[in-house]
């Protein structure tokens, strides 16, 4: 059901937008903002755990969070599966668990395990095409829902392997059964992404992550036939800025009395966490006269 929703979004004619989430709370907020699907970002989940985006968090830790997110929203979640948390065998186990947890799809990238974030300095190494094709096939063969979405992400441009290599890899991953291709870039403009999209000719839905080229107007992506745009880290970055600002003000002043207009109400937290639904449920289920 949730996988079907994600598949429909990815395969629709329109350009769709996925918002990053890294916790059940951020997932609820993104859903309330109107996003029809969410990106369970490896970077953001790692950051919220206070660890590096280098598979420092185990896949069971990550899945635990994504599972809790799926439990709290009705929009589908595409999980960042990094490079698969190991080899094809790890991919199979992760995909089976994710399918059971109601996660709609996984994105696998063609780097080695442990991976590093695409934007960190230093050399980044690509996995061999054959090894990565095996992971794509293993993921497709392990999904429990026929609509589960497997996105193959090539890091060829990130690793400096060039545009022809990126296109060649995307073709090979498409042949291996990927449902969509994610082409990642760390350029400050959308040049190489646009060229890729032109040469790809809408063979399979194309997904992009405009973090470094966020200045590009969205219409450019629409005209290029991009299936999905992922805002991959904006929620965690927004929360870091807001938390840092408010906590430092409170620390400096030892006073919080004039900040209420700047932070959400406690009532808002109650609403986001279903407090009022539980209160209503108590009336129905708790024995009369019982408290709590």
Active centre residues (catalytic):
53
Helix axes 163-175, 129-142, angle to 10 degrees: 30
Q: Which residue is nearest to ligand SPV (CB)?
A: 41
Residues that bind ligand SPV (CB under 6 A): 41-44, 53, 80, 117-118, 209, 211, 232-233
Q: Which does 145 bind (CB under 5 to 8 A by kind): Mg ion, ligand SPV, none?
A: none
Q: Which residues contact 93 (CB under 8 A, 6 or more apart)?
A: 142
Check: CB of residue 208 under 8 Å from CB of residue 181.
no
CB of 292 to ligand SPV, least distance (A): 40
Q: Which does 30 bind (CB under 5 to 8 A by kind): ligand SPV, Mg ion, none?
A: none
Between residues 22 and 204, which has the closer beta carbon with respect to ligand SPV?
22
CB of 20 to ligand SPV, least distance (A): 6
Q: What are the start-end ranges of the H helices in the chain?
A: 2-11, 24-33, 42-49, 59-72, 88-100, 129-142, 163-175, 191-200, 218-223, 234-253, 266-272, 275-285
Backbone angles phi, psi at 17, to 5 degrees: -125, 130
- The answer to whether the Cα torsion of 240, 243, 247, 249 is positive or negative is positive
Q: Which does 211 bind (CB under 5 to 8 A by kind): Mg ion, ligand SPV, none?
A: ligand SPV
Q: Is 80 in the site for Mg ion (CB under 5 A)?
A: yes
CB of 273 to ligand SPV, least distance (A): 25
CB of 30 to ligand SPV, least distance (A): 13
Between residues 91 and 249, which has the closer beta carbon with respect to Mg ion?
91
Q: Is 84 in the site for Mg ion (CB under 5 A)?
A: no
Between residues 80 and 110, which has the closer beta carbon with respect to Mg ion?
80
Q: Which residues contact 68 (CB under 8 A, 6 or more apart)?
A: 23, 24
Q: Is 42 in the site for Mg ion (CB under 5 A)?
A: yes
Q: Which residues contact 247 (CB under 8 A, 6 or more apart)?
A: none
Backbone angles phi, psi at 19, to 5 degrees: -105, 140
Q: Which residue is nearest to Mg ion (CB)?
A: 42
Between residues 142 and 233, which has the closer beta carbon with respect to Mg ion?
233
Between residues 135 and 145, which has the closer beta carbon with respect to ligand SPV?
135
Residues that bind Mg ion (CB under 5 A): 42, 80
């Amino acid at each position: 059901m949730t996988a079907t929703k994600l598949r429909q979004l990815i395969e629709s004619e329109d350009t769709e937008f996925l918002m990053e989430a890294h916790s059940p709370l951020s997932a609820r907020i993104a859903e309330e903002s109107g996003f029809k699907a969410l990106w369970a970002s490896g970077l953001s989940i790692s950051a919220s755990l206070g660890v590096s985006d280098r598979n420092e968090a185990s896949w069971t830790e990550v899945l635990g969070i994504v599972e809790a997110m799926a439990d709290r929203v009705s929009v589908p979640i595409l999980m960042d599966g990094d490079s698969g948390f190991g080899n094809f065998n790890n991919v199979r186990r992760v995909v089976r668990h994710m399918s059971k947890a109601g996660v709609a799809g996984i994105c696998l990238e063609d780097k080695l395990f442990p991976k590093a974030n695409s934007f960190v300095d230093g050399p980044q190494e690509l996995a061999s095409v054959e090894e990565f094709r095996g992971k794509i096939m293993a993921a497709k063969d392990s999904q429990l829902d026929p609509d589960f979405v497997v996105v193959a992400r090539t890091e060829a441009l990130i690793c400096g392997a060039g545009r022809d290599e990126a296109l060649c890899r995307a073709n090979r991953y498409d042949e291996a059964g990927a449902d969509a291709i994610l082409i990642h870039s760390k350029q400050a403009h959308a040049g190489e992404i646009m060229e890729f999209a032109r040469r790809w000719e809408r063979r399979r839905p194309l997904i992009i992550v405009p973090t470094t080229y966020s200045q590009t107007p969205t219409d450019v992506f629409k005209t290029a036939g991009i299936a999905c745009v992922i805002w991959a880290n904006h929620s965690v970055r927004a929360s870091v800025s807001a938390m840092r600002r408010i906590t430092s003000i409170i620390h400096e002043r030892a006073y919080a009395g004039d900040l209420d207009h700047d932070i959400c109400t406690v009532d808002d937290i109650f609403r986001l966490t279903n407090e009022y639904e539980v209160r209503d449920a108590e009336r129905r289920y708790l024995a009369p006269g019982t408290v709590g």
